[in-house]
């Protein structure tokens, strides 16, 4: 049983840590939104794993709240950027959003060649 504890929490922690790295690296806001979404799901999974392994149902209502929170957060950010894009003629640079990170990276790699 100890091995099961170590394995599950190790895998959950590794996944959460990698999601955190992506959250820090970016490069764009939407990458961070996707990473936060995944991180919250992993947290919910960790709570459920704890509830299951320890036979402790007190944490189960927290699960409902966390899964609600993940949905509301990502939809909120998507709608916020979508609202800015609606006033823009192109991809949002003319209303104050920065240049898309993927395009910047592509141009940088072309310049190196």
Partner 1 sequence: MSALQTLGDVVAVAFLLLGALLCLTAGIGLLRFPDVLTRMHAGTKPQVLGVLLIMVGGAIRLQGWSATWMLLLVAVFQMLTAPVSAHMVSRVAYRRRHVRRDRLLVDEQHTAGQDRLYRGDEPADAPPEEPATALAERVRENREDGTR
Binding mask 22-51 for partner 1 (x = CB under 8 A): x-----x-xx-xxx-xx--xx-xx--xx-x
Note whether 33 and 81 are within 8 A (CB).
no
- Is residue 6 a contact residue for partner 1 (CB under 8 A)? no
Site residues (CB under 8 A) for partner 1, limited to 75-94: 75, 77-79, 81-83, 85-87, 89-92
Shortest Å distance, C-beta 108 to partner 1? 15
Give residue for tokens 């189960």: 60
- Is residue 95 a contact residue for partner 1 (CB under 8 A)? no
∠ at Cα 111 (106, 113), nearest 5°? 100
Footprint on this chain of partner 1 (rule: CB under 8 A): 4, 7-9, 11-12, 14-19, 21-22, 28, 30-31, 33-35, 37-38, 41-42, 44-45, 48-49, 51-53, 55, 57, 60-61, 63-64, 67-68, 70-71, 74-75, 77-79, 81-83, 85-87, 89-92, 97, 100-103
């Amino acid at each position: 049983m100890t091995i099961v504890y170590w394995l599950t929490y190790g895998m959950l922690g590794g996944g959460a840590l990698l999601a955190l790295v992506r959250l820090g690296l970016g490069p764009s806001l939407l990458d961070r939104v996707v990473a936060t979404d995944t991180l919250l799901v992993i947290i919910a999974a960790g709570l459920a794993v704890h509830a299951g392994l320890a036979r402790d149902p007190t944490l189960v209502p927290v699960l409902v709240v966390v899964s609600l929170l993940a949905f509301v957060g990502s939809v909120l950010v998507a709608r916020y950027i979508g609202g800015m894009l609606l006033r823009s003629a192109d991809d949002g640079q003319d209303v104050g959003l920065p240049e898309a990170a993927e395009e910047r990276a592509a141009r940088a790699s072309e310049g190196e060649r």
